Amino acid sequence: MSKQKRKKRRFLHRDMTVYEKRIGFILFILLCIFAYFVVPFSRISTISVIGNKDTDAQSIEASANVVPNDLILSLWLRQNSIKENIKKQQARVADVAIRLEAGNVFQIQVTEYDTIAYVEQNEDYYTILSSGIVLKEESKKYLGTVPIVKWEGTIQTLEIMAKELAKLTSDIRDSISDINYKESDKLALTIFMNDGNQIKANYTNFASKLEYYKGMKSVLEGKKGIIDLTVGAYFVPYKE
């Protein structure tokens, strides 16, 4: 066998060098990446929104900025920003969870703040959420059994009151029928209870004082009247 043929055979049967192995590995990775971006299972098929009661599903999808055929990897990398965008743009949404369901369904699960009161103004109703936020969207209907707030003051004072209302436990809030305020009364508002009593308190700090209402009732022994908590605490029975 000639010397040239022996060299050719050694070249054909020699092991790959480290450099060649690296090049081959890189090409393999690039091929896998290309295949991933091309195949259908790398993209979401549809979007599902669950848990929403008062927030429109399409509005949540728009806030998420997610559409069918988006890359799953891309969405997973920005899932935190998707959650934050939804909560920032949807005032009713308290929390967001994201998961990928069978069939590449991108599922958005939301938890909403409760409605704790309605503000009645010029025959329109505005929602107060358990976050203490007053929604600017109006409704012509009163929905539910939560308190009605009649507020003749600024939006700033209303928002302060709403934050206080949100601090109350649900059982205390459920015992309230109406809340009235006139700017001429300065800090004092009137809270009408379902049991027939009235409470006068400052809108800036009434939450901490109303937590003791059950104890106050037991002392009254069934008497009805006005409990004044604006300065100290005293009771004035209704005139018979």
pLDDT at 240: 66
Q: Name residue 12's amino acid.
A: L
> Binning pLDDT at 50, 70 and 90, where does residue 40 land?
low
Determine the Cα–Cα distance for residues 101 and 109; give it in Å rounded to an integer.
12
CATH architecture of 115-237: 3-Layer(aba) Sandwich (3.40)
Angle at 171 between CA 169 and CA 174, to 5 degrees: 110
Average pLDDT, the chain: 85
Judged by DSSP in three states, 36 sits in helix
Angle at 138 between CA 145 and CA 164, to 5 degrees: 55
Task: Name the percent of the chain lying above pLDDT 70.
Answer: 82
3: pLDDT strictly greater than 60: no
Determine the length of the chain.
Answer: 240
Fill in the DSSP letter of residue 239. Answer: P
Domain ranges in the chain are: 3-30, 41-112, 115-237
Q: What is the pLDDT averaged over residues 200-220?
A: 90
Q: What is the pLDDT averaged over residues 168-195?
A: 93
Which residues share a beta bridge with 99?
107
For residue 124, give both structure tokens.
Answer: 């329109």
Report pLDDT digits (tens) over 125-149.
Answer: 899 999 999 998 777 677 678 999 9
138 in Cβ contact with 124 (< 8 Å):
yes
* 55 φ, ψ (degrees, to nearest 5): -105, 130
Determine how many CB atoms are found less than 10 A away from the CB of residue 57: 15
Report pLDDT digits (tens) over 83-107.
Answer: 999 999 999 999 999 999 988 899 9
Q: How far is CA 15 from CA 12, 18, 23, in A?
A: 9, 9, 14
pLDDT at 4: 53
CATH architecture of 41-112: Roll (3.10)
> Binning pLDDT at 50, 70 and 90, where does residue 12 land?
very low
175 in Cβ contact with 132 (< 8 Å):
no
